[in-house]
Structures are given as structure tokens and as C-alpha cells.
Amino acid sequence: MSEKSEQMKTSEAAQALGVSENTLRKYSQAVEKAASPAYFPRVKNTRRYRPEDLTVLKQMQDLVKAGQKIDQAAQELFAGEKEEAPVKTAREDQLEAALAAKDQEIAELKEQLAQLTAAKAAEKPEASLEPAADVLDLPDFDDGFLEDEPVTPEQKRAHVVADMAKSDQEVHKELLSRAQGNAAKGAPTYRTLADMQLAPKKTPWWKKIFK
């Protein structure tokens, strides 16, 4: 037997419960209010009643006979069965808003970090092409002029001991100063065009007398 064949019309269900059709409709409306508007199956917008529906309606009928109102009886039978949307507290709303703000802040910081990283990466090749400031002061001579004068082994040991007590910056400055000094010693001198002209010959004094 199919499920539809087990469903009763309003008149049949009212007769099975021993109540009027009007009373059955009131019971049905109270059930739909307490449980769900679609609790009872419908055919052409008319309620149909299953065997389990008749059992529930019979329990309601007993509660009403005991003195309860129809709505109270329905709420008692379906207490806890009606699904209600959870109500958020004000604290939960505040936490959600704070988390959303934090997520936005983190996203902005990540974007700023990516921009800074890209900017630094773009600056590095240009910076590597620029010579150091102290190198610009060096004369453009051969490397041979940068070599120190020959020293004895004793002098070398003395230099090593002295350099060990100096900082890296001091050693760098001293080497730079020595290199500039050696370069100045070997710097070539250039003669001007006036220097290269021959000096005029002087006339002997005795030729001036017999002139």
C-alpha cells in the first residue's frame, strides 16, 4: 500500500478522532504553528493526515481534555523539535567585527611589505653600479704606483703587530692614505706648450760694442 493511500482527508481524520472538522482544523493549525507550516502533507492545498499524524492529534486531544488549551498542548508535544536560528550575542558580534578588522589589517601589511621588497630589489642594481665615495678621490694611475716601498722582515712584523691593535676602519683609512701618497710620488709631470718653446739666444756684449 502506497503512502498516499494511507493519507486521510479532513473528514476521514475527524471521524477517526471523534471530533468535528472545524476542531480538527484548529488542532492542525496549532501543530503547524508549533512545529512547521509544512508539517502536514497537502494535495491541491488541502491537508492530508498520515497514521502518525492521527497519533499526535490524539495526544493533543487528551491534553485538551485534561484542561490545556490547544496551542499549549501543541507546544508541549513539539517542544524542542522546532529548529530555531541561533541568536548571536553582542559579544559574538564584537568578536567577529574585531577578527574582520584584524584580517583587513594583516592583508594591508602584507601588501605594504610586498611593495617595499619590490622597491628594494629595484634599487639594488643601481646602487651596485655607483663607486664608493673614497674611491673617487684616487688618481687614475697604474697599479704599480700603489705598491709600498720594500721593507725588511722586522718592519713587516712591526706593522702586523700595530695593525692588530687597529680597527677595520682605521686600517682601511691608513691603506687608502698610503696608496694616495705613493700615487702622488709617481705621478707624471706634464710640460705646457710655453715650456716647450726655445728661449731666445742672448747677444754677446762685445758684439754690441762693435755693432
Q: Is the pLDDT of residue 124 over 90?
A: no
Secondary structure of the chain in HEC code, one letter for each residue = CCHHHHCECHHHHHHHHCCCHHHHHHHHHHHHHHCCCCCCCEECCEECECHHHHHHHHHHHHHHHCCCCHHHHHHHHCCCCCCCCCCCCHHHHHHHHHHHHHHHHHHHHHHHHHHHHHHHHHHHHHHHHCCCCCHHHCCCCCHHHHCCCCCCHHHHHHHHHHHHCCCHHHHHHHHHHHHHHHHHHCCCCCCCHHHHCCCCCCCCHHHHHCC
For the chain, domains (ranges, CATH) are 3-77 (1.10.1660.10), 137-185 (no CATH)
**pTM metric for this prediction:** 0.38
Let me know: does 29 contact 73? Beta carbons within 8 Å: no
Task: Please provide the average confidence, as pLDDT, over all residues in the chain.
Answer: 76
Tens digits of residue pLDDT in 161-206: 666 666 667 767 777 787 677 666 665 665 666 666 666 666 766 6
Structure-block grid coordinates of residue 162: 700595530
Tens digits of residue pLDDT in 4-26: 668 999 999 999 999 999 999 99
* Percent above pLDDT 90 for the chain: 32
